[in-house]
Structures are given as C-alpha cells and as structure tokens.
Amino acid sequence: MKNKKLNGILLAVGALLILTGSAFFITGWTLAPYVYSIGAVLFAVMQFLGRYKGDDWMERRLSRQQLLGALFLLVTGVLMFVERHNSWVVTLTIAAVFELYTAFRMKS
C-alpha cells in the first residue's frame, strides 16, 4: 500500500513538472525543457512500472494506449531540445489525448 502511495506521489510530481516545463517553455525560459524532460521521464517510468498485467483485453489495450501517450511525452521533450518551432505542441497534444482518454476509460 505504501508503495502505491509513493508511486502516486511520484506520478503527480512528474505531471506537475510537465505542466510547469511546458508553460514556461512558451515564455522562453532556458531551463524549461529540462524541467519538462525530468517530469516526462518520471511520469513515463511510473506508468511503465504500473502497467496492467491482468487478463482483461480491454484493460490491456488501454494500458498500451497509456504507454503510447507516455512515449509521446518523451518525444515532446526531445523536440523541445532539438527544435525551436512549435512542433512539440503537436506531440504534447497527442499525448494529452491518449492520457485523458485512458484516464476516463480504465477501471483502476
């Protein structure tokens, strides 16, 4: 139980760093890609560790979609470093759609 609580806290911290990094990247803050990337890695690792391992095919599919959203979050971090255009917004939007959809559809 304590491990689940710690995982939830780390997931929330990662999400907060993602939000902070993406918001400050728009203002031109030079450390924003680093803040975002740390949050994205933390968020993705927690999702990979907490993936569904049961027999329900729908939950397995939703879990894979959630992991795909986490991969798009990581790609967004790379695009923040590589490009100075707004192409990172596209991958962040795709990741947000995957994460939001699975958050409402998953049972646990």
Those residues with Cβ within 8 angstroms of residue 84's Cβ, 6 or more apart along the chain or in another chain: none
Domain boundaries, the chain: 2-105
Report the pLDDT value the prediction gives residue 28, as an integer from 0 to 100: 87
**pLDDT tens digits for range 2-16:** 688 898 999 999 999
Question: Which residue's structure tokens are 């139980």?
Answer: 1
Rounded to an integer, what distance in angstroms lies between the CA atom of residue 70 and that of residue 50? 12
Q: What is the CA radius of gyration of the chain?
A: 14
**CA terminus-to-terminus distance, the chain:** 15
In the predicted structure, residue 108 carries a pLDDT above the cut 70: no
The HSE-up count of residue 29 (CA atoms within 13 Å, CB side) is 14
Report the pLDDT value the prediction gives residue 50, as an integer from 0 to 100: 86
Confidence of residue 97 (pLDDT cuts 50, 70, 90): very high
The 10 Å CB-count burial string (b at 16+, else e) for 16-25 is ebbeebbebb
Rounded to an integer, what distance in angstroms lies between the CA atom of residue 28 and that of residue 10? 27
**pLDDT tens digits for range 45-91:** 999 998 888 888 999 999 999 999 999 999 999 999 998 788 899 99
Determine whether 66 is exposed, middle or buried from the number of CB atoms within 10 Å of its CB (0-12, 13-18, 19+).
buried
